[in-house]
Amino acid sequence: MRDKVSSNLFVKNLPGETKSADLYHTFAGFGRIFSARVKYNPNGTCKGYGYVQYESKDDADKALNAMNGETFKGSKITVEHFLASGARTASFMKYNNLFVKNVPRKFTDKDLIGLFKPHGEIVSAVVIKESPDALENKGFGFVCFKNAEDAKNAEEKLKNLSIEGQNLFICRALPKEERRKQLREERLKAFRDCNLYVKELPEDVTDEKLKAAFEVFGKVVSARVMLERRQNLETGDTEMKSRGFGFVCFNDKQEASAALMAASSQPILGRSLYVVIAEKKEDRLARMASPFPMPFSGPRPAGVFPMYGMPPYGFPGPYAPPRLRRPRNVLTP
């Protein structure tokens, strides 16, 4: 029986042009592969990581030992055993790489090492600069300890330490992909109920046109038309075309509500648009899968009803009483 966890490898630092077939052919020489896939961005480029599932753990171990640290299409890749979500969460509790913020601008790498060295053996320490020749750093850096215990001890001892009038901020250094995910979640939380989903857009609309059309209702933080690749039947070339929908994010809820009300009573961009409060994908799928009517999670102006279900009791609006079904097998004159 195949061990799905121990025979599964996680490969990161992949170049943007990597395809699943490239991953398969690169790792096929170490044993029989059950599956190989990379994760893609919406524009078709690789997100920088992928998975290789072998039939046996021994083959996975051979591939890991041979390919970890090797150069693949000009990029040095990292290969490690895939961890299930529970084990991955537990592993995050132990870390040896620290992110240090509010570092004095005149600090050098040696200054950073001198500050953290009393707390354990340091593998590397660097302050980030605009360029190698810059005289000042950008106010932050990274310190990597050999042992996770030393990193945790340094974090506890040095956090909020005041240097030149600023308190150090120290935390676990997040991988780039995880940091992007965290920033995205923070942004979604900050602009909850300010983000509108706009459908039935004209084919020629751009981000700039969409933003200009909604700026009359308030300050637009961002406007984006969702695109997809389509093949031009005449030239055979692939082009990026509108998918007919997009998102408009306002600065506050009142402006988003005003735009939502206006869209229900007047044309925008020369046509009637379908506009609702944007939902997270998980919330939308849960609502659609529910056997009972579920309203949208965000606030909704008067007169605009949820997609599913009737208006709530006491709410003015059209209502038809249920039709009574005639009993079967009853003779009527």
Q: Note the pLDDT tens digit of each residue in 153-179.
A: 998 889 888 888 889 999 888 877 777
Q: Which amino acid is at 207?
A: D
- What is residue 225's DSSP assignment? E
Residue 154 vs residues 117, 139, 149, 179, 307: alpha-carbon distances, Å:
9, 19, 9, 22, 53
Most confident of 81-85, 118-122, 233-237: 118-122
Q: Is the Cβ–Cβ distance between 38 and 18 less than 8 Å?
A: yes
- Average pLDDT on 32-52 reads 89
- Average pLDDT on 98-107 reads 92
Give the pLDDT score at 83.
76
Give the pLDDT score at 228.
87
- Average pLDDT on 90-114 reads 84
Q: CA-based diameter of the chain, in Å?
A: 102
Which two structure tokens, joined as six digits, stand for 333?
């004159």
11 or 321: which leads in pLDDT: 11
pLDDT at residue 110 is higher than 80: yes
CB neighbour burial string for 141-169, b if at least 16 within 10 angstroms, e if fewer: bebbbeeeebbbebbeebeeeeeeeeebe
Which two structure tokens, joined as six digits, stand for 81?
């055993």
CB atoms within 10 A of CB 50: 24
Give the pLDDT score at 175.
79
Contacts of 177 (CB under 8 A, 6+ apart): 47, 48, 49
- Average pLDDT on 6-18 reads 89
Distance CA 9, CA 300 (A): 46
- Average pLDDT on 134-142 reads 91
- Average pLDDT on 227-254 reads 85
H or E segment to which residue 38 belongs = strand 33-40
Q: At what angle do helices 20-27 and 57-67 cross, to 10 degrees?
A: 100
Alpha helices in the chain (DSSP H): 20-27, 57-67, 85-92, 109-116, 148-158, 176-190, 207-214, 253-263, 281-289
Give the pLDDT score at 307.
41
- Average pLDDT on 132-137 reads 86
pLDDT at residue 191 is higher than 70: yes
Give the pLDDT score at 3.
57
> Phi, psi at residue 178, to the nearest 5°?
-70, -40
- Average pLDDT on 181-204 reads 83
Q: pLDDT band for position 239 (50/70/90)? A: confident
Q: Which of left, alpha, beta for 196 (phi over 0: left; psi -120 to 50: alpha)?
A: beta
